[in-house]
């Protein structure tokens, strides 16, 4: 029996060409499914990052308007560079404006501050032409938040 098994194992040299082709076809099918899905995930994450930049600017502006009740407007650049406070000191409300243009404007309004302006990320420009509140931004999914004009 031992000689029989050794003889059989000796004749087994490796995979056949058909088995190798089957493995390659299976890997190609998996890659064809995965690559477009990964591209969509990356695009949605970029859109989400820009949306988060807008929301961070709105949150920083809320702090600014709380400390400066007489002010009604501020830009993203102003929140970043340091805004003059009433006591003669300056405070920076944002560490980084991310993809936002420094001219992005935040207005103090009753019912929630609004933001409008442009951001640029990965060669796409995201423009909020009519002012949006934080709640309206939150209602947008990352897939809806594309590199075009964004409206409430």
From first to last of its 152 residues, what are the pLDDT tens digits of the chain?
777 767 666 666 667 889 899 999 999 999 999 888 888 888 888 888 888 998 999 998 888 888 888 888 988 888 877 655 555 556 678 888 888 888 889 999 888 888 888 888 888 888 887 888 888 888 888 777 775 666 65
Q: Domain containing 97: what range?
A: 17-150
Contact assessment for residue 101 and residue 124, using Cβ atoms and an 8 Å cutoff: no
C-alpha gyration radius of the chain: 28
Q: Which residues contact 149 (CB under 8 A, 6 or more apart)?
A: 127, 128, 129
| Residue at 12 is within a domain | no
Q: What is the pLDDT of residue 76?
A: 87
| Residue at 7 is within a domain | no
| Residue at 121 is within a domain | yes
Residues in the chain: 152
| Residue at 115 is within a domain | yes
| Residue at 5 is within a domain | no
Q: How many domains does the chain have?
A: 1
| Residue at 3 is within a domain | no
| Residue at 81 is within a domain | yes
């Amino acid at each position: 029996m031992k000689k029989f098994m050794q003889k059989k194992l000796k004749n087994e040299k490796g995979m056949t060409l058909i088995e190798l082709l089957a493995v390659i076809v299976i890997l190609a099918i998996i890659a064809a499914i995965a690559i477009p899905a990964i591209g969509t995930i990356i695009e949605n994450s970029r859109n989400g990052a820009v949306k988060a930049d807008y929301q961070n600017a709105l949150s920083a502006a809320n702090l600014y308007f709380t400390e400066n009740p007489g002010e009604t407007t501020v830009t993203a650049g102003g929140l970043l560079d340091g805004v003059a406070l009433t006591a003669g000191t300056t405070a920076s409300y944002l560490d980084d404006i991310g993809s936002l243009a420094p001219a992005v404007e935040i207005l103090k309004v009753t019912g929630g501050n609004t933001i409008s302006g442009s951001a640029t990320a990965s060669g796409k420009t995201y423009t909020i032409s009519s002012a949006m509140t934080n709640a309206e931004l939150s209602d947008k999914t990352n897939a809806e938040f594309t590199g075009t004009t964004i409206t409430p």
